[in-house]
Structure 1
Amino acid sequence: MNSTTPLRPGDPSQIGDYELTARLGEGGQGSVFLAAAPSGERVAVKVLRQGLAGPEAGGVSAPGRFLRETEILRRVAPFCTAQVVESGTLDGRPYIVSEYIEGPTLQQVVDAEGPLRDTRLRRLAVGTMTALAAIHRAGVVHRDFKPSNVLLGRDGPRVIDFGIARALDAAATGSGVVGTPPYMAPEQLETATVEPPADLFAWGSTMVFAATGRPPFGMDSLPAVVNRILHREPDLGGLQGDLRELIADCLAKDPSRRPAAREALMRLLGARERPAGTDLLSAGSAVAAGGAAGPRAAPLNVPAAGEITTVPRGDGGRSPSRAWLAGGAVALALASAAMVYGLSTRGGTATAPPRTSAGPPKPVAEVTAAPASKTDDVRLPGLKTTLHENPADPVRLTTVIYTTGKESKGYLRDPASGRFESAGPFQEPLISPDGKWAAVLPWLKDSIPQPYDFIRLIERASERQFIVRLTDKRLQNFNPHWSSDSRRLLLTSFQATTEGRRPVGFAVVDVAGAKASLVTADAQGATGAPFMWAPGETTVAQYYGSGPRAGLRVFDLRGKTVRTIPGVGEAYGTEGAISPAGKSFLTTCPDAYAAMCVWDFATGRRRASFSVPKSYSTIGWFNDAHVMYRDQTKSPQQIVVVDLKGKVARVLADVPSNEVDGAPGRSTHRFTRTPRL
């Protein structure tokens, strides 16, 4: 079911003969409202942001040109489209009234359920191509075909917002580049020419997104995406058969080589000619709807704040192939119209996460044994980094993210085989200490189409997944940390400011209780430092300040400051700095250069200090007597384990120079504490 929100102050209550009852959403073009027609039927009213007041051109006013253009839209036959009912202007702002379609967008479904498979993907392809054939037959070009303009209604897919960009364009300047970069055709980018072949290119890109969770030319920086569209071949993922061939033809650089919508629809229906005695658009609509008894698209269940909901399979009963969770730890600048990629799951639909007896966390026994010396080498796919592991290690590398200015590669470890599998970009996964759960956090927040921030929980044995709504989108949540018993997740809630992100509190996700709680806290002077679990995990800690006066604050789970440890130095990074048993914490020494200090958490006294390379980055604790950091003075660089005197006990990994900070790319290595996966 489509999610609605109440009308805001300043929103109109009436437009023409239509009574506005709620908000359906808001985008770059304007706001969409749910409204009641005089007959009582529900309709969607889109009030466009672009005003039409201004000088007349050629004796025809801008509103007149808009109304003339939108009148053409009413000629589009309602085959797999949301039919336009009427259009008009309100105080110089244009609006369009269309048929109300109940159901989520393709963008939302793929984000929540993962890529579409088999019959469901085929019906989507047939339905959307039927819509384009109907749109083109009426002499209209969509101009902005993309996943968020495809609704998955109960009677099949419906295409919306066709021709609106052209109507606005004609009423304003008569020219200009309109579209969403990852779905724009080469000629659209180079000359702003938009003819029906551009819609076929956008359709091909949208189908690749539906089938793989990503557009065929990537979704990172705008220059990189544009360069791939103009000069590179598309990445079609695992698409096979005639659908792959058709999509490849639609993605031809030369628009003259792309099929027309009618020809493409006949290919999808398995005929080069119109089926005998059957109207082509009617046949396409019937296939898209799956017949009278065919399966219907499941509406997206949008949770309320702090609520958890389950995500059903999106395959109509079949188990899709595994698509590994996305990895990400370094934010990249992205153009508008970015998105967060979804993930697919196997196994049955869940009704709730398994509930366990919460109880207080059990104390963690202190471990100080020296690292085992005998190791096995493990090479990461796609990278030249080599791990040196031993089964007795108290930590295990579970996630690797490699980012450049043009792309992001993530790797997540298979719990059964121990191999690293390729993961999609732009999300941050975190494996629970017991290995039973993976939490996946979108970290390109502005690209999330939902008006709230959320985190996914994936039960790794069954591959069921759950979505927990965290906060409204005005706050952004980062830096997830599992509790030692794998029952809770801690995230830091930030508010965006002109000077960067400012922490304002933290969110606690209770897996067994199926809810998330937002706690505000006085994080004055924290300057972006995240919250982390404090010993006992009934409190949280956060670094504050800079230089010799920097310190550590401890808060209870209501956000009240209960303790301050001043003068211990700055945080070394964003990972948890407290030892596994909770007795010690790490800082950069306040009174020495290139030195690391170890402090007693109970007393605040210094336990140890030791020198580190002039160029290094700390990763965290190996066990309670050993620390891991990356020595950036070596070539290749090394991830090493050192004791609290700074003596190197073992090398954990060799990292080549082209996979480190300051080079063409950056690799981030995340270790999960055992029990083993």
Structure 2
Amino acid sequence: MSVASTLPVLLAGRYHLEHVLGRGGMGVVYRARDLLHEQFGEPCPGVALKLLDESLSACPDAHVLLYSEFALSRRLRHEHVVRMYSFEVDAGSQTAFFTMELLHGMTLDRLLVECPAGLPWAELQPIALQLLDALVYTHRHNVLHGDIKPTNVMVGAEGVRLFDFGLGRSVAQTTKDLASVSRDRLNAWTRAYAAPELLAGGALTPAADLYGVACVLYELAQGNRLGERQPGHRLSRPRQLPRRCWPALHAALAQDPQRRALTVAELREAIGCQRPRWYR
């Protein structure tokens, strides 16, 4: 089951595709109207609908990857994590897809274009805390995101939303009975935010997620990406980041995962701290 060459405008008899919202390493996300809910008077019948990109049509088990993303994230219930709705298959075109919350706002990459010198701390801190809250929650529920980057974080009137768990994995083997495919063969890691051990073929771990979110926070505070680093390269504190927050963020950016001697929750505590611990 994959995207047909000519995708029907109406899927499963109820989802009317309107336009493409975005494309990722393996999928395409559409804005769609749920005609069933619309018929019953739902004032906001819009949903986001994700299906496989045509480039994966030759992969016979790629639909399992799509389902595993849905199964991984459907149990997450947090105000800063995208909400999943249902997984379905359009019988006529044999197209597998899932529906989820339609997000409103702008992704962090677009926000960064408007703030080339980095976000002022008063704006940056609440975004950082909400993003870290989302990641702390997913880790506590044994879910690793795997692809934290500015294009996968939306900021709107209702705050931050973390989305796109397509490269995610479960820490606990809650989905061990599901068929699976190797995400590694998709070569989908984004180099600017992927932990060095992932690029070297290592496994996804909480420390890799920590590195990814630290790269995003660094970019928000500095205005540009961390970039490629040579061994022994010393990082400087980003211009918009308070000094008290730099030791924790610096540790989270360690290239050696063994030297990332803190958790996402501890990084969140450091970013949220209003004054040095010794004043408490």
State the TM-score, normalized to the length of structure 2: 0.76
The alpha-carbon distance between structure 1 residues 128 and 229, as it changes in their structure 2 partners (threshold 3 A), is farther
Match of 1:173 in 2: 182
* Counterparts of 1:88 and 1:192, CA distance in 2: 33
| C-alpha displacement of 1:151 | 0.6
Q: Which has the higher contact order (CA 8 A, sep 6+)?
A: 2
* Counterparts of 2:234 and 2:96, CA distance in 1: 39
Which amino acid in structure 2 is aligned with residue 80 of structure 1? Answer: H
Match of 1:18 in 2: 15
* Counterparts of 2:29 and 2:62, CA distance in 1: 22
1:441-471 CA-to-partner distances (Å, cap 9, x unmatched) read xxxxxxxxxxxxxxxxxxxxxxxxxxxxxxx
* Counterparts of 1:134 and 1:245, CA distance in 2: 23
* Counterparts of 1:129 and 1:166, CA distance in 2: 16
* Counterparts of 2:95 and 2:236, CA distance in 1: 40
Match of 1:121 in 2: 124
Match of 2:72 in 1: 72
| C-alpha displacement of 1:87 | 2.8
**8 Å CA contact retained: 2:108, 2:150:** yes
Q: Secondary structure at the match of 1:80?
A: coil
Identity %: 26
Q: Map 1:7-406; keep pairs closer than 5 Å.
A: 10-16=6-12, 17-37=14-34, 38-40=36-38, 41-49=45-53, 50-51=56-57, 54=60, 63-64=63-64, 66-89=66-89, 91=93, 94-114=96-116, 115-162=118-165, 164-166=166-168, 171-173=180-182, 175-176=184-185, 177-216=187-226, 218=227, 225=228, 228=229, 232-238=233-239, 239-258=241-260, 259-270=262-273
**8 Å CA contact retained: 2:80, 2:160:** yes
* Counterparts of 2:51 and 2:236, CA distance in 1: 36
* Counterparts of 1:230 and 1:83, CA distance in 2: 40
| C-alpha displacement of 1:245 | 2.3
* Counterparts of 1:46 and 1:108, CA distance in 2: 21
| C-alpha displacement of 1:150 | 0.9
| C-alpha displacement of 1:52 | 7.5
Q: Secondary structure at the match of 1:75?
A: coil
The alpha-carbon distance between structure 1 residues 236 and 22, as it changes in their structure 2 partners (threshold 3 A), is same
1:628-669 CA-to-partner distances (Å, cap 9, x unmatched) read xxxxxxxxxxxxxxxxxxxxxxxxxxxxxxxxxxxxxxxxxx
* Counterparts of 1:183 and 1:65, CA distance in 2: 22
State the TM-score, normalized to the length of structure 1: 0.34
| C-alpha displacement of 1:72 | 2.3
Task: Specify the structure having the higher radius of gyration (Cα).
Answer: 1
Q: Secondary structure at the match of 1:266?
A: helix
Gaps of 5+ in 2: 39-44, 170-178, 275-280
Which amino acid in structure 2 is aligned with residue 71 of structure 1? Answer: A
User: Structure 1 segments of 4 or more deviating over 6 A?
Assistant: none
* Counterparts of 1:159 and 1:108, CA distance in 2: 15
| C-alpha displacement of 1:235 | 4.5
Which amino acid in structure 1 is aligned with residue 6 of structure 2? Answer: G
| C-alpha displacement of 1:236 | 3.8
**8 Å CA contact retained: 1:51, 1:92:** no
Between structures 1 and 2, the one with greater helix share: 2
| C-alpha displacement of 1:89 | 4.7
| C-alpha displacement of 1:12 | 3.0
**8 Å CA contact retained: 2:135, 2:264:** yes
The alpha-carbon distance between structure 1 residues 10 and 174, as it changes in their structure 2 partners (threshold 3 A), is closer
1:200-252 CA-to-partner distances (Å, cap 9, x unmatched) read 10111111111222112x2xxxxxx2xx1665344543233233222112112
Q: Secondary structure at the match of 1:47?
A: strand
Between structures 1 and 2, the one with greater strand share: 1
Which amino acid in structure 1 is aligned with residue 181 of structure 2? Answer: A
Match of 1:386 in 2: none
Match of 1:433 in 2: none
1:114-141 CA-to-partner distances (Å, cap 9, x unmatched) read 3211211001110110111122122211
* Counterparts of 1:12 and 1:138, CA distance in 2: 36
| C-alpha displacement of 1:27 | 3.9
Q: RMSD in angstroms over aligned alpha carbons? A: 2.7
Which amino acid in structure 2 is aligned with residue 172 of structure 1? Answer: V
Q: Secondary structure at the match of 2:167?
A: helix
Match of 1:573 in 2: none
Which amino acid in structure 2 is aligned with residue 198 of structure 1? Answer: A
* Counterparts of 1:112 and 1:73, CA distance in 2: 31
Gaps of 5+ in 1: 1-8, 55-60, 219-224, 272-677
The alpha-carbon distance between structure 1 residues 232 and 63, as it changes in their structure 2 partners (threshold 3 A), is same
Q: Map 1:538-577; keep pairs closer than 5 Å.
A: none
The alpha-carbon distance between structure 1 residues 233 and 92, as it changes in their structure 2 partners (threshold 3 A), is farther
